[in-house]
Amino acid sequence: MNITIGNYRIQKADDLNLVVENFRTPALSKNPKIAEKQSHEKKWHFVGYCDKPELALNKIITHSLVNEEVEGANNLMEKIVELRGEIKDAISQIQTQ
């Protein structure tokens, strides 16, 4: 199983677990000499393991809400509605596989 939702993906890690990853630019070192040697390319970063697809989707919601700057209750509600729509699409993909 390989499902991509925005900058997140869910992959089957083994028979019992799913892994959730986020595609982003890595955090750079504060030391300028080290930072210039680090890669600035986007990479998949580990978010967490889950045993059920529903939990993996909830982890994506939680992670994306924590990592985004959301201004005001209206923006938060719009984001939740948008993510719920993406979850419904992802669940449809899971059920068709």
Q: How much is the pTM?
A: 0.65
pLDDT digits 0-9 by tens, 38-82: 888 899 999 999 999 999 999 998 888 776 655 566 677 888 888
Q: Can you give the residue ranges of every domain in the chain?
A: 2-96
Q: Are 8 and 47 in contact (CB under 8 A)?
A: yes
Question: What's the CA gap between 42 and 8, in Å, rounded?
Answer: 12
